């Protein structure tokens, strides 16, 4: 998976972790907490396998479990809650082994501190890539189990009995022969002075009490009564409100501003001019917006003033005719292709996409002579801190960054541009200022899911089965900008995920990636990242091969899965539950798609109706998933439902286009979202096993796009090789 590969390919020297001067004792350190409790420090790898790669002589904890004297268990960790349920599922791991009620565990946002909370190989503190549970699974349970053994030892010592005659339950230690019991809180200080036991055995899955049960989300109650505080709700005393206009063409600058009318608006306090943006500061956002509308700004549009999407697509298409970095090579494609009975060739394209989080970009900043304070909701708070420091011109230690709940992340809030903007504006404002982007600014100044162009060829044998597969694709590398050490020799582990390491047994496969950065439009991670593009292409093309071979799409895929029983099992399950093969009404069709990404196996069957006018309705989606051990099955279902809707929005509507350098879409009337009336029925079937957990927040998104495309093919015989769905191409002649 993405970060696994980065961890294993990063060649830069990792920042030294030895500054903590904590010797490595397994991966856990125990000691006294301030206030007299027990504090465990542990290391959550951001990807499996990282622990082995880390320097064995140093130990850099990035999560902390504190058992207070009052018995509360407080967990501080680097992941943030953005709706994916991590704030519930990770405490479940601790509670399971520690033998406490889930309600007894409280979770705190980690403050920004790359030194403490970052992966030492990556140097970032971030929530993304569907890796929270994957990373936390082993160490969090180990921490809980170790703390439990220490608490039991402390109790046994106090009673002067054999620890094996004691057991932990419900937040206390019980001495069964005498019926004596002591609460954890009363034992925490004693436990802190004991040595850390090594190699404490973890529970067998059959003994799990919490893991695998549908626990209630801990973050929900304040979200139904208006009391939850998101970044946009921060209100430091004396705060003013600002909104802004940024150069409508990326790379443009402000030429002149006439602010006479804007200044006359009641409640407008100040106009702030930056090189490439103008902000209006006011007593409330209503006045700021009215002031902004009254500004007369002339822009120097810069070098991209004539740029159109078609130019970018043409450049990318050209790039796929040059060789790129080899992402994966299996067998001998050249010979196999030469000996093929037939060939199938296709090109595919996917558009730029905006994130359109429901909470528009915003950040509150207060710049003082000696430092800076910011209030924000971020997936990568330490990046916000660094960006704020740079913009304010102060050392990073002088920036206090307060993180909040996130009103949608989807990768957008892994960036820190909105924080830098707020600080640039706040530098000219006396006191704190909340900078809120209008929806139009949010959509037109996003950092977009890259546009991709893909060129594929398959060689089929006499029976129509693939014996050779080549895929060369071109597009932006987000990793190369966001995490330069992750980009090595032209290889980008994110951009290629879903195009390589396929579940299918393809004896001769050659995949190349050509990095091609479009001018004049910034790119970023977007929910389901590399697979958001690759799975659409790979699974649509696989469907083309099945059609070329005149075979059933499920049976065709199944024949290639003998070496991947877990993939075959989810395919079979989705086919069975969907009623695959049963007749559909005219104008309707079923499409299947299969993937192995984020360490989870998933199959979707989508049912669509295509109207005579070409309008597509997704009626029903059946999902079968094997994500290894399920921690919270209700969260797995919720994430799959969510990811499917997110992906259908992209498949049916998502298209950010440039004309004369400007993003043409601006709000929800022309950047459409799936709504209640368009939402399909969704059925989720979970394969039960106790393999290590896979990621879950993103899988459903990448997979639904080809499932819908393949269903449209089944309904109409028309193959869509560019997303989003072009209804005009599906319209029936009258």
Q: Which residues are at the interface with other proteins (CB under 8 A)?
A: 82-85, 216-217, 219-221, 223-230, 232-233, 235, 241, 265-267, 283-287, 289-290, 356-360, 405-410, 436, 438-439, 634, 638, 641-646, 649, 667-669, 673-677, 679, 681-682
Cis upstream peptide for 724 (omega within 30°): yes
Report whether 355 contacts 465 (CB < 8 A): no
**Cα(694)–Cα(602) distance, integer angstroms:** 11
Minimum gap (Å) between residue 674 Cβ and other proteins = 7
Minimum gap (Å) between residue 326 Cβ and other proteins = 37
Give the chain's largest Cα–Cα span.
90
Place of tokens 């065709």: 556
Report whether 259 contacts 271 (CB < 8 A): yes
Minimum gap (Å) between residue 642 Cβ and other proteins = 4
Minimum gap (Å) between residue 510 Cβ and other proteins = 37
Minimum gap (Å) between residue 639 Cβ and other proteins = 8
Q: Which CB atom, from 491 or from 526, has the smaller least distance to other proteins?
A: 526
Q: Which CB atom, from 181 or from 263, has the smaller least distance to other proteins?
A: 263
User: Count of H helices and E strands in the chain?
Assistant: 20, 28
| Positions of E strands within 104-251 | 105-109, 166-169, 172-175, 180-183, 240-246
Report whether 60 contacts 120 (CB < 8 A): yes
- Structure tokens of 268? 């407008």
- Structure tokens of 286? 């209503």
Q: Which CB atom, from 284 or from 463, has the smaller least distance to other proteins?
A: 284
Instruction: Kindly state the DSSP code that residue 233 receives in the 8-state scheme.
Output: G
Q: Which CB atom, from 287 or from 465, has the smaller least distance to other proteins?
A: 287
**Cα(302)–Cα(491) distance, integer angstroms:** 32
Q: Which CB atom, from 85 or from 351, has the smaller least distance to other proteins?
A: 85
Q: Which CB atom, from 11 or from 227, has the smaller least distance to other proteins?
A: 227
Q: Which CB atom, from 188 or from 218, has the smaller least distance to other proteins?
A: 218
Report whether 272 contacts 429 (CB < 8 A): yes
Q: Give me the phi and psi of 16, to 5 degrees please.
A: -65, 135
Minimum gap (Å) between residue 679 Cβ and other proteins = 4
**Cα(451)–Cα(595) distance, integer angstroms:** 21
Minimum gap (Å) between residue 222 Cβ and other proteins = 8
Q: Which CB atom, from 232 or from 460, has the smaller least distance to other proteins?
A: 232
Q: Which CB atom, from 87 or from 556, has the smaller least distance to other proteins?
A: 87
Q: Which CB atom, from 112 or from 231, has the smaller least distance to other proteins?
A: 231
H helix or E strand, kind and range, residue 573: helix 565-578
- Structure tokens of 547? 């059609």
Minimum gap (Å) between residue 711 Cβ and other proteins = 19
| Positions of E strands within 526-665 | 588-597, 600-610, 616-626, 658-659, 662-663
| Among 724, 730, 614, 639, CA closest to 674 | 724
Minimum gap (Å) between residue 274 Cβ and other proteins = 22
**Cα(471)–Cα(333) distance, integer angstroms:** 11
Minimum gap (Å) between residue 229 Cβ and other proteins = 7
| Among 163, 246, 148, CA closest to 203 | 148
Minimum gap (Å) between residue 111 Cβ and other proteins = 21
**Cα(7)–Cα(159) distance, integer angstroms:** 47
Q: Which CB atom, from 265 or from 537, has the smaller least distance to other proteins?
A: 265
């Amino acid at each position: 998976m993405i970060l696994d590969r980065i961890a294993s390919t990063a060649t830069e020297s990792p920042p030294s972790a030895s500054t903590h001067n904590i010797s490595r004792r397994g991966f856990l350190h125990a000691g006294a907490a301030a206030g007299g409790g027990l504090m465990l420090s542990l290391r959550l790898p951001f990807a499996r396998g990282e622990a082995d790669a880390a320097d064995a002589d140093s130990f850099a904890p990035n999560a902390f479990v504190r058992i207070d004297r009052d018995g509360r268990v407080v967990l501080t960790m680097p992941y943030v809650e953005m709706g994916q349920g991590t704030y519930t599922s990770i405490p479940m791991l601790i509670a399971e082994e520690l033998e406490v009620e889930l309600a007894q565990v409280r979770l705190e946002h980690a403050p920004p501190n790359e030194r403490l909370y970052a992966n030492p190989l990556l140097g970032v503190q971030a929530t993304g890539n569907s890796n929270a549970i994957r990373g936390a699974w082993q160490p969090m349970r180990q921490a809980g189990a170790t703390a439990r053994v220490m608490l039991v030892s402390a109790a046994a010592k106090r009673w002067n009995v054999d620890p094996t005659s004691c057991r932990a339950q419900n937040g206390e230690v019980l001495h069964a022969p005498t019926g004596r019991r002591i609460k954890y809180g009363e034992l925490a200080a004693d436990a802190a002075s004991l040595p850390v036991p090594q190699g404490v055995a973890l529970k067998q899955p059959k003994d799990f009490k919490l893991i695998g049960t549908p626990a209630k989300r801990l973050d929900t109650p304040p979200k139904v009564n208006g009391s939850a505080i998101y970044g946009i709700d921060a209100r430091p005393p004396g705060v003013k409100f600002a909104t802004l206009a940024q150069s409508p063409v990326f790379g443009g600058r402000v030429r002149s501003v006439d602010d006479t009318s804007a200044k006359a608006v009641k409640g407008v306090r100040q106009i702030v001019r930056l090189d490439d943006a103008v902000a209006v500061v006011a007593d409330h956002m209503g006045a700021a917006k009215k002031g902004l509308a009254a500004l007369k700004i002339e822009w120097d549009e810069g070098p991209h003033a004539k740029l159109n999407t078609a130019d970018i697509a043409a450049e990318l298409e050209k790039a796929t005719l040059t060789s790129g970095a080899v992402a994966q090579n299996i067998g001998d494609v050249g010979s196999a292709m030469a000996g093929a009975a037939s060939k199938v060739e296709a090109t595919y394209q996917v558009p730029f996409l905006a994130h359109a989080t429901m909470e528009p970009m915003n950040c509150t900043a207060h710049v003082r002579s000696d430092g800076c304070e910011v209030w924000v909701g971020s997936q990568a708070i330490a990046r916000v801190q660094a960006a704020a420091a740079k913009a304010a011109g102060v050392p990073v230690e002088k920036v206090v960054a307060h993180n909040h709940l996130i009103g949608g992340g989807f990768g957008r809030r892994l960036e820190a541009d909105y924080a830098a903007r707020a600080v640039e504006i706040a530098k000219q404002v006396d006191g704190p200022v909340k900078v809120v982007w209008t929806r139009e600014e949010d959509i037109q100044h996003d950092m977009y899911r890259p546009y991709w162009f893909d060129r594929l060829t398959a060689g089929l044998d006499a029976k129509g089965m693939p014996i050779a597969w080549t895929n060369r694709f071109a597009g932006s590398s987000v990793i190369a900008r966001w995490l330069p050490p992750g980009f090595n020799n032209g290889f980008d582990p994110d951009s290629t995920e879903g195009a390589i390491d396929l579940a299918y047994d393809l004896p001769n496969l050659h995949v190349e990636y050509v990095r091609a950065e479009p001018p004049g439009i910034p790119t970023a991670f977007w929910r389901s990242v590399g697979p958001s593009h690759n799975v659409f292409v790979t699974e649509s093309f696989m469907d083309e091969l099945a059609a070329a071979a005149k075979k059933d799409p499920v049976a065709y895929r199944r024949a290639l899965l003998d070496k991947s029983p877990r993939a075959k099992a989810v395919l079979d399950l989705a086919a069975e539950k969907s009623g695959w093969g049963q007749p559909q009404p005219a104008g309707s069709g079923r499409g299947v798609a299969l993937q192995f990404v984020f360490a989870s196996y998933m199959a979707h069957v989508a049912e669509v109706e295509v109207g005579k006018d070409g309008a597509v309705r997704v009626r029903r989606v059946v999902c079968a998933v094997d994500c290894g051990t399920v921690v919270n099955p209700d969260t797995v279902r919720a994430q799959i439902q969510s990811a499917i809707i997110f992906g259908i929005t992209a498949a049916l509507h998502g298209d950010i286009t440039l004309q004369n350098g400007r993003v043409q879409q601006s709000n929800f009337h022309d950047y459409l979202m799936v709504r209640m009336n368009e939402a399909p029925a969704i059925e989720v079937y979970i394969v039960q096993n106790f393999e290590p957990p896979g990621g879950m927040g993103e899988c459903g998104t990448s997979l639904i796009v080809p499932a819908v495309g393949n269903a449209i093919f089944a309904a109409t015989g028309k193959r869509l090789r560019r997303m989003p769905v072009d209804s005009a191409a599906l319209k029936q002649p009258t």
